[in-house]
Structure 1
Amino acid sequence: MKICIAAERILQSRRVMIWVVGSYLLLAALWLLSSRVLPNLFIRDLERLHHFQVLFDISLILSSAIGLGFLTRRFLLLLQRKERELTQLVEGVCSAEGESFFTTLTANLAKSVDADYAFVCEFTDDSHSRVRTIAVHVDGLPAENFEFDLVGTPCGEVIRHEAQCFPARVREQFPLDHIAKQLQVESYAGIPLRDSTGQVLGPLAVFSRRPMADRHLAQLLLQLFAVRAATELERRRATKARDFIALHDELTGLPNRRLFCDLLGQELSRARQRREMVVAMFLDLDRFKNINDTLGHAVGDRLLKAVARRLETCLRREDLVGRLGGDEFMIMLTGIRSPLDVKSVAGKILDCLKPSFCLEGHELHIASSIGIALFPEFGGDVETLLKNADTALHRAKELGRNNYQFYSPDMNAKTMRQLGMEAELRKAIERNDLCLHYQPQFEIETGQVVGIEALVRWNHPERGMIPPEDFISLAEETGLIVSIGNWVLSRACAQNRALQDAGLSPLRMAVNLSPRQFNQRDLPEQVAKILRVTGLEPCWLELEITESIIMQDLETTIDQMVRLMELGVRISIDDFGTGYSSLSYLKRFPIQTLKIDRSFVRDIGSDSDDTAIVAAVIALAHNLKLEVVAEGVETQDQLNFLKSRGCDLAQGFLFSRPISAEALLELLLSQAAGPALKNRTRLAN
């Protein structure tokens, strides 16, 4: 501040000195002319001439003293006024904070240097080739911010060559600057703003439609406020970065739930006034967990970022994509006229995710499920709309994934039933309301029971026996299937050991493994512990996995199978034929048994295709040295066909329905030789 005032005083002093010296030279000339030359022409009396000259000299001295005093006073008043203006400028700018600082700075700068324009800018990207104004003043009034390229502009020179001043003919020096041409700029002064590390953040500048009256003052003021302006600009960027992190997903950069809900709420308010439709979507990547588990979270994160970019590309600019967390995304569609348009967009989203993602040498294929809720029909506020979209998403998953579903009110009723069922299932596990039934497996050639399949049942205290198809999928979805599966495995092994302790011939006990249970890395250790605790030899345990499980990730599946086989247990493929896999894959799997799905067995004789498939599977399985079990055998004709094709084992209602442990014991005792076996210790449940 003192530097500016001193500089201003020096500049004013020089001008006053020149004016005073010039005035005195003029007065001296007039004095010589008036007191020496002119009187000699009119006054001849020397005494009178002397008196006149003395009076004239005295009057000239008095008048010059008065004039000098007036000029000195005027100069001091002018200097004081300028000092007050500069003081007010510094105090006004320094007292301002936040966004108001830049507005105050540009307004005072323009006023102090008598400029038509003043602005502060920041870079819009990392290339530092384009800037956007933060605050602009035009003719003493704040103006709307704008962006422009730095190439061919005075601001570009400032960024490259530090402080610059062009007191005149700016448009001639920068003919490519269309803004200077549009604003009729004639003069310019600017300075770069640097952060604490020395990096340029943007320029601070003043410019006018006329030549700059005082370039030195303009440069001094720009230098004075550059440091403070850079500090505020750096603080502003840090605040924006902090706000961005608080409102955006750190991984993908998409709006997070908080920001998405805020923007959705604003859009709902506008749509309510205009009577328009708004669409909320929940999108979930199908089986994304498998990618994280097999390839690692780093690949999973890269996939999520790639999905985010692909979603942004396939949607319109007015639509909004956000990330809820994990592999769930949220989408808002506006300007939609009918549900048909929504179907078109949903189909487009599903299609855009179908092409493979190539990440770190892996070619990944993913699908997605989408739940859709429409405003105002099925949700008048943000919370209800998103809840209903989430309900529709769960429905899409239930229907096989890789599809979209619109919310309907009956979904809530089903969801409430499922929530009640889940709560009851948790209590059933705690109260030990689950039990096992057993379906015998018969050797087709001899008709003897050689194996047993353990099937879980839920003995509800009010509704009676609940079949597995009514609760297994719910247990799988909620994760309860892991604890249920471990209980089934432990109970089945204990039951099989008890049968042997009762004097019966050893039988294989088949136990189904759910996808979640099979994908647990410590499954072999858990199986080994159960075998050790129950005392059952591993060779009498057969673990069944479905064809869909083995086709998810071949290498991981094979590794898990090998670890299980090293324990000595048998492995079978259940429901074979429903997963559309090739028999050639079977050569890679360490399995001993193949179970033909009941859907193929049911149509033997009535459907030529299914009949041919069953025959082919039996023949090829035997070539691979695999044992074949036919499920769902219900008629004698089916059994005769299977026997003619050499099928090894069969199970189904033709032989026996799933039965309790007591009924199983009776069956095995009646088959066993020697009536004494019937008197042996009966089995506990």
Structure 2
Amino acid sequence: MAAPKINARASSWRSFVVPSLLILILFLSVGYYVITTIRNFYNHERAEEASVLAKSYTSVLSTVIDAEQQIEDQLNSTLRVAGVTVSKYVQPFSQELLATMASNLDVDVIYLYDENLIVTHSSNGEYLDWTAPEGHPIEAFYHSGADSLVEEIREDTVSGIPHKYGYHRFADGRMVQVGIFASNIKKLYSQFEPQYIVDKLSHDSKHTLLALLDDKGSVIAASDPSLVGNAIQPENIGLPISETQYKLIDWENQEFLAFHLPIVIKEKHAGSLVLFYDLSNVNILMLRISLIVSISLLLFFLYFLFSFLNIYRKNQRILNLAYHDELTGLHNLRYYHQYLSELKSKKVACIVLNPTNFRMLNMLFGYEHGDMVLIGIGNILTKLSEQYKPCQPFRLSDDRFLIVLSDYQDGEELDSLCSSLMSIKEETGLFGSIEICLGLARSETETHDSTRMLREALIALNATSVTNKIQFYNEHLEEILVERDAIESELNQAISSPTNGLSLVFQPIIESKRGKIRSFEALARLTSQKLGMISPLTFIQIAEQRQLIIPLGKKILSLACDFIAVLQNSGYDSISVAVNISAIQLMHESFVPDLVSLLQEKGVQNQSLELELTESVFTQDMELLSNQLRTIRSLGIRISIDDFGTGYSSLSRLGTLPIDTLKLDKQFVDKLQSNEEQAKGLASDIISMAHHIGKVVVAEGVEEQEQRTMLTNMECDLLQGYLFSKPIPAQKALELLESKGELDAYPS
């Protein structure tokens, strides 16, 4: 059948061009707005910075005025303190002592005079025995009677080097002269000179020209020294003196941002500050932004052209995705509904194919391998659709496929297709507990309800089992589905509730020769207020189908560990408990960590727990299975194989795996009382060979004393069955241990 046609009106040129032009205009407007905003923002930032600089400089100038007087007072104080300090010294003076005192007192020279105005000591070794001439300031100080005197800066009488001197009188009439070089004083003042401040600001800031004007407009300091002394009027700059205004000007073929800011000291106009900011970097930035905008526009149009030329292909791809599964390439559910609604055939069969427990394959080998298997199934279905025409395959969901067969002649053709579908397991490499199950629904009317047929096929699929892998829909299946849904609901409640419905009973396993209880097997029971007692086979199967087997298994293990804890607290440390686990549960990546945490939480000994596996585990990947079992065995947990002899296992395989115990299936025990010598010999051989490879053997289903006698004679290690006890609650199991401790054909 041809693919459904999709009515899609091709978009006209106008529907693309008009929006594109509008987008272009919007893009240009946004670009212009962005560039203008960035430029204005940058200019505003520069204005703010200039204002801050001007205010900072104003503060500095105010400080300079005060600083000059403070420096003068500090120098006078230093000279007085130095004179007093020297005059108070009572030890003999020397050149070295005076030099040290000069250094400590922050002065440059110290001279000592006697009453005749003759230099007796000096800090630098000069002027010794030198007599002050008439008219020397020290002579005036000597006759003044004052204790101290500080002079202004003057040239030294002998060397001519400018000094600032201070004098102080000793109590015995001697005098001391202390001095500071004028050159050192000028260094202090130089840090507050306007030119020094301008040079400092020019070096630290990013502007390229700075000039400080006095209140008459004359340049008193500038970053360009050639401007000092020139007059710069506001009209020359083109800006009045203002804290907020600025202007773009050209200066020597460069663009600058000009500011003319007032300097106010003590509320009086003291001058102004001219700042020219070089905008070269801004212009480069604007050029780059313009280039980026232009390139973006170009890329936009190239993208538009490319999109327009490929619009047809994209529409085709969208249509393809709408009606096809991306992974397998098969048609999808949407296409199925349209396909069936247009199908003119009178006889139609819908087959839902599901590889059960597909999650196991993903878990063991990863989702990539699982996807490859799904692709393989899709390829096989495509080939089958060519063989069984007209036949159309679809992919429904993760691991479910749908096949629609129409115009088939009879039931044999449908059966042949089902047989081919069942062979997919071998062709795609699906293994073990992963089985192919088919649910079928048929319609023989003029028109076919796609939703109803799919629903019926899914109901039929839900009714499949390990022994019934192909199921045709019938009305009774809906009742079964309702019942299974109810059981699933009860299971969910039992798993989530600590006391609701799910419980364990325990069947003792005894030593064949002594009759002593060696261990118990834990068996799950589910009781519902609505449904009554639910068969373990039923709710276990539903748990596996509805992905509840892992949480159910965790719950059962937890209850079993509770019983082990009770046994240990009652002094039965040697009694172990065996718990059945599924292959899915065993191979789950979190099984071992969860098991270790559970044992630690319950506080039970690892060796008191035994895990029972069915032979179906041997259909898993043997290397992964072996690694998982060895990890479990390394924890001290015993491992047994349940129902041995009915499935996939062999003694040669068991010899390579860390298996402790084989549980001989009940069918071998049942045949012991028959006249078939072959059956007796087979049971005996299995026990003998199991012992040969170091395995313990448990016989299940022992119900007759004669069976016990024969198994004991065959050297079977342990026995289990109704001959000794039926499965009993935990409290009765404890009472059984307390009252007997051993069972000798104990009545059930």
Query: Do the aligned partners of 1:357 and 1:364 also contact (CA within 8 Å) in 2?
Result: no
Distance 1:476 1:368, change over 3 A: closer
For 1:454 and 1:585, the matched residues in 2 are separated by: 26
In the TM superposition, residue 230 of structure 1 has moved relative to its aligned partner by 9.8
Partner of residue 295, structure 1: 365
Q: Which amino acid in the other structure matches residue 427 of structure 1?
A: Q
CA displacement 1:242-262 (0-9 Å, x = unmatched): 111122111111111111222
Residue 229 of structure 1 deviates from its aligned partner by 12
CA distance in 2: counterparts of 1:435 and 1:379, whole angstroms? 51
Q: Does 1:547 align with 2:615?
A: yes
How many Å apart are 1:415 and its aligned residue? 1.1
Asked if structure 2 preserves the Cα contact closer than 8 Å seen for 1:601 and 1:631, the reply is yes
Equivalent position to 1:261, from 337, 342, 364 = 337
In the TM superposition, residue 399 of structure 1 has moved relative to its aligned partner by: 2.9
How much has 1:384 moved relative to structure 2?
1.0
| CA deviation after TM superposition for structure 1 residue 671, in Å | 2.0
Question: In 2 relative to 1, CA 482–286 (structure 1 residues): closer, same or farther, beyond 3 Å?
Answer: closer
Q: Which residue of 1 aligns with 2:402?
A: 330
Separation in 2 of the partners of 1:392 and 1:460?
Answer: 25
1:215-240 deviation line (CA, Å, top 9, x unaligned): xxxxxxxxxxxxx9998663111101
Residue 10 (structure 2) aligns with: 98
1:668 aligns with 2:737: yes
Q: What residue is the counterpart of 1:443 in the other structure?
A: 511
Contact 2:433 / 2:620 at 8 angstroms: preserved in 1? no
Count of residue correspondences:
441
- The gaps in structure 1 that reach 5 residues or longer are 1-95, 102-227, 674-685
CA contact (8 A) 1:281 1:370 kept: yes
Structure 1: distance between partners of 2:738 and 2:434: 52
Give the conservation status (yes or no) of the 8 Å contact 2:357–2:433.
no
Match of 1:282 in 2: 352
Indicate whether 1:426 and 2:496 are aligned: no
Q: How much has 1:449 moved relative to structure 2?
A: 0.6
In 1: Cα distance, 2:465 partner to 2:446 partner: 20
Shift of residue 100 of structure 1?
9.0
**When the two structures are superposed, what TM-score results if normalisation uses the length of structure 1?**
0.60
The correspondence for 1:556, drawn from 611, 621, 624, is 624
Cα distance between partner residues in 1 of 2:534 and 2:524: 10
Aligned to 1:386: 454
The amino acid that maps onto 1:325 is S
**Cα distance in 2 for residues equivalent to 1:497 and 1:637:** 36
Task: Report what 1:307 is aligned to.
Answer: 377
After superposition, give the CA deviation of every residue in 1:522-566 in whole Å (9 maximum; x if it has no partner). 211112112112221111111111111233221111111111112
Greater helix fraction, Structure 1 or Structure 2: 1
Change (3 A) 1:484 1:309: closer
Paired residues of 2:431 and 2:620 also in contact (CA < 8 A): no
| 1:570 lines up with 2:601 in the alignment | no
Instruction: Check the 8 A contact 2:425/2:431 in 1, yes or no.
Output: no
Determine whether 1:248 maps to 2:324. yes
Partner SS for 1:320:
strand
Q: Distance in 2 between matches of 1:379 and 1:287?
A: 35
Q: Indicate yes or no: 2:463 matched with 1:395.
A: yes
Aligned to 1:633: 702
How far apart, in 2, do the equivalents of 1:285 and 1:378 lie? 32
**Compared with structure 1, are the counterparts of its residues 537 and 348 closer, same or farther at alpha carbon in structure 2 (3 Å cutoff)?**
closer
Cα gap change, 1:594 to 1:309, in 2 (>3 Å): same
Q: Give the TM-score normalised by structure 2.
A: 0.55
What's the offset of the Cα at 1:377?
Answer: 6.8
**Does the 8 Å CA contact 1:277/1:374 hold for their aligned counterparts?**
yes
Distance change (3 Å), C-alpha of 1:347 and 1:491: closer
Is the Cα–Cα contact under 8 Å of residues 518 and 575 in structure 2 kept in the other structure?
yes
The answer for the alignment partner of 1:236 in structure 2 is 312
**SS of equivalent to 1:486:** helix
Structure 1 match to 2:718: 649
Deviation per residue, 1:426-483 (Å, 9 max, x gap): 2333252211111011101101111111111123335554442232211222232322
The RMSD of aligned alpha carbons is 2.9
Residue number in structure 2 paired with 1:620: 689
Take 2:627 and 2:370, find their aligned partners in 1: how far apart are those partners? 21
Q: What displacement does 1:373 show?
A: 0.8
Match of 1:345 in 2: 417
In structure 2, do the counterparts of structure 1 residues 235 and 369 end up closer, same or farther at CA, with 3 Å as the change threshold?
same
Counterpart for residue 76 of structure 2:
none
Cα pair 1:357 1:365 within 8 Å, conserved: no
Amino acid at match of 1:295: F
Q: Is residue 432–residue 619 contact of structure 2 (8 Å, CA) maintained in 1?
A: no
* Separation (CA, whole Å) in 1 of partners of 2:607 and 2:618: 22
Partner of 1:412: 478
8 Å CA contact retained: 1:450, 1:508: yes
Give the alignment partner of residue 596 of structure 1, picking from 648, 664, 668: 664
Report SS of the residue matched to 1:251.
Answer: coil
Per-residue deviation, 1:367:
5.4
Q: Which residue of 2 aligns with 1:154?
A: none
Alpha-carbon separation, structure 1, partners of 2:593 and 2:431: 32
Aligned partner letter, 2:715:
G
Q: State the partner residue of 2:581.
A: 513
Conserved 8 A contact 1:378-1:408: no
1:463, 1:647 → 2: CA distance? 40
The more displaced of 649-658 and 464-473 is 464-473
| Partner AA of 1:300 in structure 2 | G
Task: Work out whether residues 331 and 395 of structure 2, in 8 Å CA contact, stay in contact via their aligned partners in 1.
Answer: yes
Q: Which runs of 5+ in 2 are unaligned?
A: 1-7, 14-303, 743-748
Percent identity of the aligned residues?
34
The alignment partner of 1:588 has SS state of coil
Distance 1:399 1:261, change over 3 A: farther
Query: What is the one-letter code of the residue matched to 1:293?
Result: M
- Partners of 1:434 and 1:593 lie apart in 2 by 27
Larger Rg: 2
> Match for residue 47 of structure 1?
none
The counterpart of 2:569, out of the listed 501, 504, 512, is 501
Q: 1:342 to 1:363 in 2, by over 3 A?
A: closer
Aligned AA for 1:649?
A: L
- The code of the aligned residue for 2:453 comes to L
Distance 1:608 1:414, change over 3 A: farther
Query: Aligned partners of 1:244, 1:526: CA distance in 2, in Å?
Result: 45
- The residue aligned with 2:81 is none
Residue pair 1:452, 1:509 contacting (<8 A) in 2 also: yes
Deviations 1:130-163 (A, max 9, x none): xxxxxxxxxxxxxxxxxxxxxxxxxxxxxxxxxx
Work out the CA distance in 2 between the residues paired with 1:242 and 1:650: 66
CA distance in structure 2 between the aligned counterparts of 1:308 and 1:558, rounded to whole angstroms: 32
Deviations 1:5-40 (A, max 9, x none): xxxxxxxxxxxxxxxxxxxxxxxxxxxxxxxxxxxx
Q: Deviations over 1:261-305 (max 9, x none)?
A: 2212221xx34xxxx111111111244333322222222222222
- For residues 467 and 649 of structure 1, the distance between their equivalents in structure 2, rounded to whole angstroms, comes to 27
CA distance in 1, matches of 2:707, 2:554: 35
Choose the corresponding residue for 1:527, options 595, 602, 605: 595
SS in 2 for 1:545: strand
Structure 2 partner of 1:214: none
Q: 1:455 to 1:664 in 2, by over 3 A?
A: same
SS in 2 for 1:633: coil
Shift of 1:378: 13
Contact map agreement 1:278 1:332 (CA 8 A) in 2 = yes
Distance in 1, Cα, partners of 2:523 & 2:446 = 41
Match of 2:464, SS state, is helix
Q: 412-421 or 609-618, which moves further after superposition?
A: 609-618
**Partner residue, 2:391:** 319
Q: Deviations over 1:51-79 (max 9, x none)?
A: xxxxxxxxxxxxxxxxxxxxxxxxxxxxx
| AA in 2 matched with 1:637 | E
- Taking the aligned partners of 1:418 and 1:399, their CA distance within structure 2 comes to 17
CA distance in 2, matches of 1:506, 1:242: 67
Cα distance, 1:585–1:266 mapped onto 2, change above 3 Å: same
